[in-house]
Structure 1
Amino acid sequence: MTTPITSFRDLELPAPLLSALAEVGYETPSPIQAACIPHLLAGRDLLGEAQTGTGKTAAFALPALARLDLANFRPQVLVLTPTRELAIQVAEAFQKYAHHLPGFHVLPLYGGQSMVVQLRQLKRGAHVIVGTPGRIMDHLERGSLVLDGLSTLVLDEADEMLRMGFIDDVEWILEHTPAERQTALFSATMPEAIRRVAHRHLREPQEVKIRAATATVAAIRQRYWQVRGVDKLDALTRILEVEDDFDAAIVFVRTKTATVELAERLEARGYAAAALNGDMTQGLREQVIERLKNGSLDIVVATDVAARGIDVPRVSHVINYDIPYDTEAYVHRIGRTGRAGRQGTAILFVAPRETRMLKSIERATRQPIEAIALPTREAVAGRRVAQFRQQIVDTLEKEDLAFFMDVINGVEEEEGFKAHEIAAALAFLATRDRPLQIEETGRGWDVATAPQSAGRAERPPRERRDEAPARRHAFSDGQLTRYRIEVGREHGVSPKEIVGAIANEGGIEGRYIGQIHLFDDYSTVELPKALPAELLGLLKRVRVRQRPLAIRELGAAEAEALPERRRPTGGFKERAAGGERPPRKWEGGQERPRAKPSGERHGAPKPHAGKPVKRFRKD
């Protein structure tokens, strides 16, 4: 009777591989890994039938890495994949698992990439080659890829290579590899043509057949957003704004660093968020989970390994900010919601190159995942108005307002304003940091609001030349004024960091960011005058060098009192309005000649006397 495999340690993998697996959050082998790794470690050939997303990449990568001779830089492992996207993913997986193997090198080879670059990389040597059949054949015919030292060959998604017409190329490659190699063939289905290849090129293969048996809780509604048009953080905050049943969320990312960065950026936007990762002590981890339970924290940004075992009934949403590496991880992630009889929501962010994994998740979970559109500016504003009205009703019903009624009555009698006018002013003050009317601030609110299919991502329509400025220019008058921010030289900040924070978080184009002056404990930056209240509130919370900018517009007297002021003559406003730039002068006072207009400077197209124009292109 065989001992059941419950951890990767049971598979007798080397310690460096176990350390890397722990870091990426892998704890228990998937069925395909538990079944394949012992055979491959023992040097046997293998015929595996398993769907994409069941963890088969680790099933062949881990034993291949365990048997490598790191001192030998000749290719020892060759993995053939049907597409360059899959080749890149497999190469990234090898790199991730080999994190603690000193000197390890993996090289992806695929069409569309510079042959010159690939030839240079091949000369340096690589332990593992991952590539598409066509490009591997090219290098074998050139003699730039030599497989005399090959010990392991893997055919990944063989049925897909058959469907794409690569099977003859695959057989040609197999015939040009050492006969004593170990061979593993993986395929989602096993048509007769694939079995013939296996019969000819595999030696007494062990057969492993795994069916994806994972299923998700019926109480979880699954949706996805095709990443395009706006950044993921902006998309996340817009989605959370309009979710009717939002209570608390776990946002999953791939790395420990990303948990901290994303949590800080969410905090800067006014959310009660915290990171949860494997670098935290058990005490800190328990503290974060307790805050999530008691309601003092609404969003936890976590890695897979850190979120294992979290059971908090109020978690209404799971956001897959970074798509998981396999379907098993996805099922574990979304299992954090839909508990205690409650309905849960799982939202997956999918980049165009990740649509294969989306399809694999749908097959594994046996549920379609619904495409969603990003909320429009009007939808977000409507949601904020509804929430504000409900806050007013709740306050009127539950609070003793006698003192405040006296204050309002006094304003009404002494200042001559009507009660509804005073109420409007109070509403404005109460929502200054989170305005009910959302103005266009250049963040692309109306881009990418339509759901996309899981196929090729559509490009947003090109703007007409005469319409583009109306949408891109949030600041039509072009007048710049000075703002103060609370980060300076002593905090180690650079102008580049300030520009990056304002441009990325505020969505302000670089042409609207003027001069920056660094002082010891603060800095000044020129930005458009009278920034919208929502944008100003957002920028106040943005952090640079771990410090909130706390930005505010300087008054005229403050601006005049600043040391080392250098103001350009002929300001932005005049030039934006079509005015002439004032003449520049040499030190002696003589006017400097202006640069030629761009057409003269670069030269108009010149006739070539009928001679063809030669154009050169780098390979």
Structure 2
Amino acid sequence: MASSPEALSFDGFAISAPILQAIKQVGYETPTQIQARAIPHLLAGCDLMGQAQTGTGKTAAFAIPILNRLALTRKEPQALVLVPTRELAIQVAEAFQTYARYLEDFRVLPIYGGQSMGNQLRQLKRGVHVIVGTPGRIMDHLRRKSLLLDKLTTVVLDEADEMLKMGFIEDVEWILGQMPAKRQTALFSATMPSSVRHIASRHLHSPHDIKIKGKTASLPAINQRYCLVSDFHKLDALTRMLEVEEYDATIIFVRTKIATEELAKKLSARGYAAAALNGDMAQAQREKVVGQLKKNTLDIIVATDVAARGLDVKRISHVVNYDIPYDTGTYIHRIGRTGRAGRTGTATLFVAPRERRMLSAIKKVTGQPLYEMPLPSHQKIIDRRIEQFKQQVMGTLEREDLAEFRHLVQQWVEQENLSPLDVAAALTYSMQRERPLVKPPLAESANHDKALQRPVKKKAKKMSALKTTRRSETKNKKFHKKTIKKQKDFRHSYFNNSHHLSTP
């Protein structure tokens, strides 16, 4: 059964005011297709089977109804979200926190292998409302009785096809068997192989079946690229890029209003003409900022998605996704701020290690090349500064009458017995003190360049090793089960035969 209740805004759903406030602060104005069709059914308590690509807003589609139906006074697990990887567990838990920022005492706990069991046990004892976890660690807690699901009202299987590929389907079946029979169950998957549909037929009751077809976005002439960088090094990566790039005006997207103010201040302190643009600003102030951008008195705007809706400034040549968007539709909207009126534009996406799944989704929806961008080296930055300073000096020599200044410098040289070269060097140093033209020792600059990428590489290796370990554990688990069965069969056969032989 398929239904399509299309909502024009989140106000059209029966969602509590605190959740609506958080949704609007994130920058969501209209629900995506999967949200528009899934949220009403989930709010009504129905089971649901949803097929949609990663990056279409599936997390909000199930997280918002779960939050809306929670009894916050009960500090016990009321909803469980099963995911295939710990990276996804962290992302989903963060999304719950974002949508619940105005819900008092709300608690969500991500549970996954590789994390301290002791910390998880402490958090469970304090009481949580929503659990987001990987099958293996959830099973560990259920066997230890440290996680009780007797009060559970909702379970969500997210990325069910991925759990199938990673060999977790048997574990998922076992976990579902430990839950109350009377519950709401939702299953989301990018594809629907027969094994996933088999689980749905066994554990979902008269589910609403929703399928969202993926679309390839039509984009103007925008050069799209991404940069793998950890959260800690984003500011350094951004300033390096701004140092080297030729840009007219830039809009930098972040997720929160506070982040717009903080990043704009940091950029201003580094000598950039930057200002914040967010929903908390009065309309007159927002118009003033946009006006300054149009008049070339401002070069960089740090904005939230909601503040940049409808922003159309021709001179915006670069868009930077400082914080990766929650869904692919928002990405398309963001980069559409450049490449206007037939001009070309450049869109840069900063990707932290745990955000690689969203990067893959963005690549699919754009249908256009998305190139990895290496960060500019320290030497490249120095070369760029020297070139800019040289152009500034040459321009001054060509445009200005410097006769009086030559006379002044000549006086200093004669009176103080100085070299003209020393005077020029001192003036250069004074002018470029904040932007040095001489690089630090080679070892220091090389180590700094490597530091920006090192956390990402380590994380990538760790993720790869973790996946290998999971596959190995799954194989070992199956092998162990078969071995135990063979041993039991052998003992049974041996003792029965022995008994038979000893009988007179």
Q: Distance in 1 between matches of 2:11 and 2:269?
A: 42
Residue ranges of structure 2 left out of the alignment (5+ in a row):
463-504
Does residue 77 of the first structure (1) align with residue 105 of the second (2)? no
Q: Distance in 2 between matches of 1:81 and 1:317?
A: 35
Does residue 191 of the first structure (1) align with residue 212 of the second (2)? no
TM-score normalised by L of structure 1: 0.69
Q: Distance in 1 between matches of 2:235 and 2:82?
A: 36
Alignment partner, residue 202 of structure 1 = 204
Alignment partner, residue 25 of structure 1 = 27
Q: What does 1:195-274 correspond to in 2, within 5 Å?
A: 195-213=197-215, 215=217, 217-227=219-229, 231-243=233-245, 245-274=246-275
Does residue 312 of the first structure (1) align with residue 313 of the second (2)? yes
| 2:450 aligned partner, one-letter code | V
| 2:268 aligned partner, one-letter code | E
Report the CA distance between 1:212 and its aligned residue. 3.2
Report the CA distance between 1:237 and its aligned residue. 1.1
Alignment partner, residue 55 of structure 2 = 53
1:163 to 162, 165, 181: 165
Q: Secondary structure at the match of 2:132?
A: strand
Alignment partner, residue 482 of structure 2 = none
Q: Distance in 2 between matches of 1:167 and 1:140?
A: 17
Alignment partner, residue 493 of structure 2 = none
Q: Secondary structure at the match of 1:333?
A: helix
Alignment partner, residue 346 of structure 1 = 347
Report the CA distance between 1:405 and its aligned residue. 4.8
The question of whether the paired residues in 1 share the 8 Å contact of 2:19 and 2:100 is answered with: yes
| 1:383 aligned partner, one-letter code | R
Q: Distance in 2 between matches of 1:124 and 1:458?
A: 34
Q: Distance in 1 between matches of 2:29 and 2:213?
A: 21
| 2:351 aligned partner, one-letter code | V
Q: Deviations over 1:25-48 (max 9, x none)?
A: 111111110111111112221111
The higher-RCO structure (CA 8 Å, 6+ apart) is 2
| 2:285 aligned partner, one-letter code | L
Q: Deviations over 1:277-300 (max 9, x none)?
A: 222222222222111221111122
The question of whether the paired residues in 1 share the 8 Å contact of 2:228 and 2:453 is answered with: no
Q: Distance in 1 between matches of 2:158 and 2:99?
A: 18
| 2:187 aligned partner, one-letter code | L
| 2:334 aligned partner, one-letter code | R
Q: Secondary structure at the match of 2:306?
A: helix
Report the CA distance between 1:430 and its aligned residue. 3.3
The question of whether the paired residues in 2 share the 8 Å contact of 1:371 and 1:451 is answered with: no
Q: Aligned in 2, Cα 1:234/1:189: closer, same or farther, shift over 3 Å? A: same
Report the CA distance between 1:424 and its aligned residue. 5.2
Does residue 362 of the first structure (1) align with residue 379 of the second (2)? no
Q: Secondary structure at the match of 1:101?
A: coil
Q: What does 1:20-169 correspond to in 2, within 5 Å?
A: 20-169=22-171
The question of whether the paired residues in 2 share the 8 Å contact of 1:230 and 1:447 is answered with: no
Report the CA distance between 1:254 and its aligned residue. 2.1
The question of whether the paired residues in 2 share the 8 Å contact of 1:221 and 1:346 is answered with: yes
| 1:50 aligned partner, one-letter code | A
| 1:361 aligned partner, one-letter code | I
Alignment partner, residue 337 of structure 2 = 336
The question of whether the paired residues in 2 share the 8 Å contact of 1:50 and 1:188 is answered with: yes
Select the structure that is richer in helix.
Answer: 2
Report the CA distance between 1:166 and its aligned residue. 0.3
Q: Distance in 2 between matches of 1:369 and 1:279?
A: 33
Q: Aligned in 2, Cα 1:264/1:2: closer, same or farther, shift over 3 Å? A: closer
Q: Distance in 2 between matches of 1:425 and 1:106?
A: 59
Q: Distance in 2 between matches of 1:54 and 1:109?
A: 24
The question of whether the paired residues in 2 share the 8 Å contact of 1:220 and 1:344 is answered with: yes
Q: Secondary structure at the match of 1:447?
A: helix
| 2:136 aligned partner, one-letter code | G
Q: Deviations over 1:10-31 (max 9, x none)?
A: 1222212111111211111111
Report the CA distance between 1:171 and its aligned residue. 0.9
Q: What does 1:550-589 correspond to in 2, within 5 Å?
A: none
Q: Distance in 2 between matches of 1:383 and 1:3?
A: 55
Report the CA distance between 1:386 and its aligned residue. 1.7
Report the CA distance between 1:267 and its aligned residue. 1.6
Residue ranges of structure 1 left out of the alignment (5+ in a row):
460-619
The question of whether the paired residues in 2 share the 8 Å contact of 1:247 and 1:315 is answered with: yes
| 1:102 aligned partner, one-letter code | E
Q: Aligned in 2, Cα 1:294/1:121: closer, same or farther, shift over 3 Å? A: same
Q: Distance in 2 between matches of 1:210 and 1:455?
A: 36
The question of whether the paired residues in 1 share the 8 Å contact of 2:252 and 2:322 is answered with: yes
The question of whether the paired residues in 2 share the 8 Å contact of 1:84 and 1:132 is answered with: yes
The question of whether the paired residues in 2 share the 8 Å contact of 1:48 and 1:187 is answered with: yes
The question of whether the paired residues in 2 share the 8 Å contact of 1:373 and 1:451 is answered with: no
Q: Secondary structure at the match of 2:59?
A: helix
| 1:172 aligned partner, one-letter code | W
Q: Distance in 2 between matches of 1:396 and 1:380?
A: 25
Report the CA distance between 1:404 and its aligned residue. 3.7
The question of whether the paired residues in 2 share the 8 Å contact of 1:225 and 1:451 is answered with: no
Report the CA distance between 1:351 and its aligned residue. 1.6
Q: Deviations over 1:147-190 (max 9, x none)?
A: 22222111000000000000011111112212221111000111
Report the CA distance between 1:213 and its aligned residue. 2.1
Q: Distance in 1 between matches of 2:335 and 2:60?
A: 22
Q: Aligned in 2, Cα 1:89/1:263: closer, same or farther, shift over 3 Å? A: same
Q: Distance in 1 between matches of 2:185 and 2:391?
A: 65
Q: What does 1:288-303 correspond to in 2, within 5 Å?
A: 288-303=289-304
Alignment partner, residue 392 of structure 2 = 391
Alignment partner, residue 494 of structure 2 = none
Alignment partner, residue 568 of structure 1 = none
Q: Secondary structure at the match of 2:102?
A: coil
The question of whether the paired residues in 1 share the 8 Å contact of 2:107 and 2:129 is answered with: yes
The question of whether the paired residues in 2 share the 8 Å contact of 1:227 and 1:352 is answered with: yes
Q: Deviations over 1:224-259 (max 9, x none)?
A: 22215982222211111111x312211222222222
Q: Deviations over 1:551-582 (max 9, x none)?
A: xxxxxxxxxxxxxxxxxxxxxxxxxxxxxxxx
Q: Distance in 2 between matches of 1:142 and 1:84?
A: 20
Q: Distance in 2 between matches of 1:362 and 1:189?
A: 18
Q: Aligned in 2, Cα 1:123/1:173: closer, same or farther, shift over 3 Å? A: same
Q: Distance in 2 between matches of 1:98 and 1:333?
A: 25
Alignment partner, residue 511 of structure 1 = none
The question of whether the paired residues in 2 share the 8 Å contact of 1:80 and 1:131 is answered with: yes
TM-score normalised by L of structure 2: 0.83
The question of whether the paired residues in 2 share the 8 Å contact of 1:154 and 1:185 is answered with: yes
Q: Distance in 2 between matches of 1:433 and 1:4?
A: 55
Q: Distance in 2 between matches of 1:450 and 1:108?
A: 27
Q: Deviations over 1:293-328 (max 9, x none)?
A: 211111222222222222111111112222222222
Q: Deviations over 1:392-446 (max 9, x none)?
A: 3333444444544554566678778787776555444433332322334957443
Q: Aligned in 2, Cα 1:155/1:19: closer, same or farther, shift over 3 Å? A: same
| 2:176 aligned partner, one-letter code | L
